[in-house]
Amino acid sequence: MALIHHTTLKPTKVELLAGWLPTRPWYHGPAAPELVKAGGFRLDDPEGEVGIEFMVVTEGTDAYLVPLTYRAAPLDGAEHALVGTMEHGVLGTRWAYDGCHDPVLTAELGALIEGRAAAQAQSLTDTPDREVARGYTGAGPLPGLGAPVDTDESTEFALSDDGGLHLRLRRVLTPGSLPPADAAGHVTGAWQQPDGTRTRALFAALQPR
């Protein structure tokens, strides 16, 4: 169970993302974005070492899904995926990574789709996030995820068993979107739009290639 500390972060997560998002191929907003944290959820690391967060940020009417991991030390071989470092008021220096490149996050994302892991509230300790829904039609555990590949709207993973499926994580969110008819698994979630209304959409889908 992740313990949520209500303390200071310098820079804040949103400030860190404001410099990083414009470097991503799936980001389509201005070079100097005015980001708002609009929603998301957390997953627990079974080892209790890595913070795992799926954050939704908005820039105007556009919404982006940003999976992040937070570590107490650099992740070997993941320099290319480093979003930046922050000073945490309780935990000290934290290394923030694009979680699609962190094996702890990808393993727990698979566990969430299967139903072995539960989505947790972003800002409350030991509190399930009831707005996150998932489904899985498979008969066994998901294979591991291969290396992530960014497109202009998503990040995609082949499955390690080469069984003809891939996992598509939506980076650009479309309000009201639903799991495709051929999806073998999915995750949906919610966030707050700039006008104050709540909306939900497809976050990730396990689909034939």
DSSP string, the chain: -PPPP---EES-HHHHHHHHGGGSTT--S-SS---EEEEEEEE--TTS-SEEEEEEEEETTEEEEEEEEEESSPPTT-GGGEEEEEEETTTEEEEEEEGGG-HHHHHHHHHHHHTSS--B-SSSTT-B-TT-EEEE--SSPPPPB---EE-SSEEEEEBTT-SSEEEEEESB--TT----TT-SEEEEEEEE-TTS-EEEEEEEEEEE-
Does the predicted model carry a pTM greater than 0.85?
yes
Q: What is the pLDDT, as a whole number, of residue 5?
A: 58
Q: What is the pLDDT, as a whole number, of residue 4?
A: 56
Q: What is the pLDDT, as a whole number, of residue 125?
A: 80
Per-residue pLDDT of the chain (209 residues; tens, 9 = 90+): 555 556 677 899 999 999 999 999 999 999 999 999 999 999 999 999 999 999 999 999 999 999 999 999 999 999 999 999 999 777 779 999 999 999 999 999 999 999 999 999 998 888 999 999 999 998 788 888 999 999 999 999 999 876 788 999 999 999 999 999 999 999 999 999 999 999 999 999 999 98
